[in-house]
Amino acid sequence: MAATSVRQVNIAIIGLGGVGKCFLSQLEQLAARRPSPKLVVTYICTSKKALYSTDHVAIDFRDLPSTLAASPHAPLPLPKLADFLGTSGSKTVLVDNTSSQDVADAYPLFLGRGISIVTPNKKAFSGPYKLWQDIFAAAAQSGAKVYHESSVGAGLPVISTLKDLVDTGDEVTKIEGVFSGTMSFLFNSFAPASGSGGGRWSAEVKKAKELGYTEPDPRDDLNGLDVARKLTILARLAGLPVESPTSFPVQSLIPKELESAASGDEFLEKLPAFDAQMEETKAEAEREGKVVRFVGSIDVATKQVRVGLEKFDLSHPIAALKGSDNIISFYTKRYGSNPLIIQGAGAGGDVTAMGVTSDLLKVLSQIA
């Protein structure tokens, strides 16, 4: 039985939004390219609909989104889903393409049942430190695997690189970078390293929203919490037991007076009245021959984690970023004064899904 069980790996997918659709397309290609082990989708759901059969029959990739939309089934409650997947008799991988805290909270349950997990969901790894401990304890106890490369920097090899540095015994002293595609785009437009151009802050925020670089309510980017979540994950991997994304200084770029604006549209409408503050920040940097950027940093020795505005010389790699790229610098004992730098697109459905697919391949190499 053991020999035949690994001829097939069952895949359960939660979430079919932007990343979910891209992942499904990559999975279909992967399944066609790699006949062994056979990759079989046995469960897929959105927040409202689910597609599965009680005897774990393979779901056909063809017309899957429309078949799912027509399904009479609601998603299984998470404890029931763990039971369902745990009784299939085949190795199973759960792919969580959501940003749901409820799904994240259930990871220890799935892992405890021997179900491996791959996910871009930041909330599982940046929530309470106890959840982080419970996730990895459950995986260690059952032998199930958990990978989350795309929870920081989409498909960029940020987490795998940091893990390799730590696991091979290098001493990571500092991590610094631009971890938000939104903030990268905003500041590269608002305060370009070339010194020319750059509109008013409120106009740049409005433009970024129209181009789809921000959340529907830009305050969800400007509050710095997205970056703080990513820093929490990296700090923990570097050995710092950071309690939560709110346990260290995070600079919000939302004027206090606009925190209570009823909607994102109202916020954008009122933002121009507060442009002077950001203009002064930009001018101050220019007077020093620098540019201002929104960065996160982890000083491992002093255990300091912070997120906020910093000024950089024009020759600094962070100043020279283009578009919405991310850049992450690892300062370590082995690499000395010149950091190991990872740079590239840190957002987008295809590259985020690539990180998830790559993690799935890692799991397959260990369980099949």
Name the residues annotated as catalytic. Answer: 230
Confirm whether residue 20 is marked as ligand binding.
Answer: yes
Helix residue ranges per DSSP H, the chain: 2-5, 18-33, 64-69, 78-86, 101-105, 107-112, 123-126, 129-142, 158-167, 181-190, 201-210, 219-222, 225-237, 264-270, 275-287, 349-367
Q: Is 308 annotated as a binding residue?
A: no
Residue 215 in marked binding region: yes
Collect all residues with Cβ–Cβ distance below 8 Å to 77 and sequence separation of at least 6: none
Q: 3-state SS of 128-190?
A: CHHHHHHHHHHHHHHCCCEECHHHCCCCCCHHHHHHHHHHCCCCEEEEEEECCHHHHHHHHHH
Radius of gyration for the alpha carbons in the chain, expressed in angstroms and rounded: 22
How many angstroms separate the first and last alpha carbons of the chain?
14
Question: In the sheet where 290-299 sits, what is the strand order?
Answer: 304-313, 290-299, 172-178, 325-332, 340-345
Instruction: State yes or no: 86 annotated in a binding site.
Output: no
Is 80 annotated as belonging to a binding site? no
Determine phi and psi for 330, rounding to 5 degrees.
-105, 115
Residue type at 140 in one-letter notation: A
Is 19 assigned to a binding site?
yes
> Is 127 labeled as ligand-binding?
no
Please check whether residue 188 is in contact with residue 319, taking contact to mean a CB–CB distance below 8 angstroms: no
Bridge partners, 172 (sequence order)? 332
Tell me if 271 sits within 8 A of 253, measured CB to CB: no
Residues of the binding site for NADP(+)? 15-20
Residues of the binding site? 15-20, 98, 122, 215
